[in-house]
Amino acid sequence: QVQLVESGGGLVQPGGSLRLSCTSSTSGYTLDYYAIGWFRQAPGKEREGVSCISSSDPTTGYADSVKGRFTISRDYTKGMVYLEMKDLKPEDTGLYYCAGPEAYYYCSGSNQISADGMDYWGKGTLVIVSS
């Protein structure tokens, strides 16, 4: 089973920044070759798609709630995907997951980041935005 691993969460004040990282701990599954998405789930709320990045180009997509504040990127030399988060707000609080497909996921660049087609998930990293 493919295992994705997130890191970089923590407690930050409103207006602060964090950078989340995602990698694969499973040999044979390198993030470079797959579209990867970031999702989050706030307490008492449904999981929502935050951002995605295609394997090449790369095309990126963002939910309206984070556009202009979050930036998704890749480091092909390290097989990592990052989510740079700036101007954080209390409503950004939640457990953040990265996810990848078994074969193919279409990151269209729109504001709709669907979990359909994502087969592998990490355990999440917790982001708390509070003063």
Amino acid at 15: G
- What is the spatial distance between Cα 120 and Cα 100, in angstroms, rounded to a whole number? 5
Side-chain-facing half-sphere of 71: CA atoms under 13 Å: 8
pLDDT reported for residue 58 = 86
- What is the spatial distance between Cα 70 and Cα 61, in angstroms, rounded to a whole number? 10
pLDDT reported for residue 12 = 98
Six token digits for residue 71: 């930036």
CB-CB contact of 111 with 38 (8 Å):
no
pLDDT reported for residue 57 = 81
Which mean pLDDT values do the consecutive 10-residue runs of the chain (131 residues) have?
96 98 94 97 96 93 97 96 98 98 93 94 98 95
CB-CB contact of 6 with 124 (8 Å):
yes
Please state the φ and ψ torsions of residue 91, each to the nearest 5 degrees: -70, -5
- What is the spatial distance between Cα 115 and Cα 101, in angstroms, rounded to a whole number? 10
- The region that residue 31 occupies, defined by phi over 0 for left and psi between -120 and 50 for alpha, beta otherwise, is alpha
